[in-house]
Amino acid sequence: MKFADLGLSDELLKSVLDAGYDEPTPIQAQAIPAVLMMKDIIGIAQTGTGKTAGFVLPMIDILAHGRRRALMPRSLILEPTRELAAQVAENFEKYGKNHDLKMALLIGGVQMGDQVKALQEGVDVLIATPGRLMDLFERGKILLTGCEMLVIDEADRMLDMGFIPDIENICSKLPTTRQTLLFSATMPPPIKKLADKFLSNPKSIEVARPAATNTNIAQFKVRSTTRQKREVLRHLLRTDNVSTAIIFANRKTTVRELAKSLQRHGFAAGEIHGDMDQSARNAELQKFKDGEISILCASDVAARGLDVKGVSHVFNFDTPWHPDDYVHRVGRTGRGGATGRAFTLVSDEDSESIENVEKLQGTKIPEFKVELPGKEERKPRESGAERDEEPKRGSRRERPAREERKPRAERESRPEREARPEREVRAERAPRREPTPYRDQSEPPSKPGEWNGPIPEFLAVSAL
């Protein structure tokens, strides 16, 4: 099947071909015709299968007919993270270049001024994170009564981040006659409840078992102690033919420390996590895309939907706490039909988490053996005699060995010791030193007034 068979306009097909795509993925082949028929959709597909284009392409053709109005966006796309929202915006710019559509991006971490100005001029597509959208709505800067289409992307991630109450609040402010599209990699019960409440007779599309990983990705687990994880990671980075890699950790502090550690060992590494402002996160991500850095240490803000071509490896420095996050992390490699490799470093603390991941996938992850290069054994310290060194003055080796203590019965009692003159006790405690003679001990004793030592040089000269 070709994109030309899906009912898209000629202008849109030209943009798709210019982007280098000819055949749709399974989720795109099923979703695009249904969206063009104005049906509600629940799309379940593993990450990396092209869900974004599955709703962006038909939305462009639908929105090509109509008129935009100030403060009233015609369509709304909700994303859980800023990075995902920015990536969807890039897709609209790429595929909508032959259409007169205006787009606005509402995300946190940036100034509101430009966002409010774009809304006042009128937008066809509004891409937003729930927090910033609700903030502007409460300020009266946006009206949702003219929204004809709603897309809830990465719904399971929305659930993990606690956005479901916000989503319900937003949906209650939208027209009831809208078209709603819900996409997710997994379908936990709260998401199903949300779909039942806000979708009308939806068409279910499932192209893979929920929580399944891409078959093009070779997965491995590597046993390690917590202390050795960094060393094992560096060994894999050097030996497994890594071109570009994303390394995931559970905590933001671990991400920072890991990036600095890799930089100290000569790796071109960067970092991205929730404590960075948006401009810094965008800059690091752009460096990674441009090849200025080959390793990106990341928290789970980069686990969902980031589409960076050519990522050869994914490393889980920590096994994710939520098994669903494993699917999304691993999905950063093996995208667009390419192959990839994923390694998860497993310590004793990660045992329960990796078991949950394997239970979710229904398969055991094969173990990858790593033999770290042996370290040089430290030589035992040589004694002063072996090093042909004189012991330092006052060192412990110079001190005489302590005499053996007398049996308790023969020792002097404290009252007896206190009864003796203090001078005698002090004299016994002080070590005795023999006076060093100035004369040569091999010569016989000299007579009184006779010098038996070496003759000073000035006396020898005067004697001549």
pLDDT at 388: 46
Rounded distance between C-alpha atoms, residue 301 and residue 249, angstroms: 11
Rounded distance between C-alpha atoms, residue 30 and residue 25, angstroms: 9
Name the one residue in this structure whose structure tokens are 């072996």: 386
pLDDT at 81: 85
Q: Does domain 3-206 have CATH number 3.30.1360.120?
A: no
Percent of the chain with pLDDT over 70: 77
Rounded distance between C-alpha atoms, residue 135 and residue 133, angstroms: 5
pLDDT at 338: 83
Q: What is the radius of gyration, based on Cα positions, of the chain? A: 38
* Residue 444 amino acid letter: P
pLDDT at 377: 40
> In the chain, which segments carry CATH 3.40.50.300?
3-206, 217-361
pLDDT at 78: 96
* Positions in the chain whose pLDDT score sits under 70: 46-48, 208-213, 303-306, 374-464
* Residue 175 amino acid letter: P
Give the C-alpha distances (Å, rounded to integers) separating 346 from 16, 44, 179, 181.
Answer: 42, 29, 44, 37
Does the predicted model carry a pTM greater than 0.75?
no
Question: At the top level of CATH, which class does the domain 217-361 belong to?
Answer: alpha beta
pLDDT at 37: 95
Name, in order, each residue with C-beta under 8 angstroms of 194's C-beta and a sequence gap of 6 or more.
Answer: 152, 155, 164, 167, 168, 182
| Three-class secondary structure assignment of the chain | CCHHHHCCCHHHHHHHHHCCCCCCCHHHHHHHHHHHCCCCEEEECCCCCCHHHHHHHHHHHHHCCCCCECCECCEEEECCCHHHHHHHHHHHHHHCCCCCCCEEEECCCCCCHHHHHHHHHCCCEEEECHHHHHHHHHCCCCCCCCCCEEEECCHHHHHHCCCHHHHHHHHHCCCCCCEEEEEECCCCHHHHHHHHHHCCCCEEEECCCCCCCCCCEEEEEEECCCCCHHHHHHHHHHHCCCCCEEEECCCHHHHHHHHHHHHHCCCCEEEECCCCCHHHHHHHHHHHHHCCCCEEEECHHHCCCCCCCCCCEEEECCCCCCHHHHHHHHCCCCHHHCCEEEEEEECHHHHHHHHHHHHHHCCCCCECCCCCCCCCCCCCCCCCCCCCCCCCCCCCCCCCCCCCCCCHHHCCCHHHHHHCCHHHHHHHHCCCCCCCCCCCCCCCCCCCCCCCCCCCHHHHHHHC
Residue pair 108/86 in contact (Cβ under 8 Å)? The answer is no
pLDDT at 411: 58
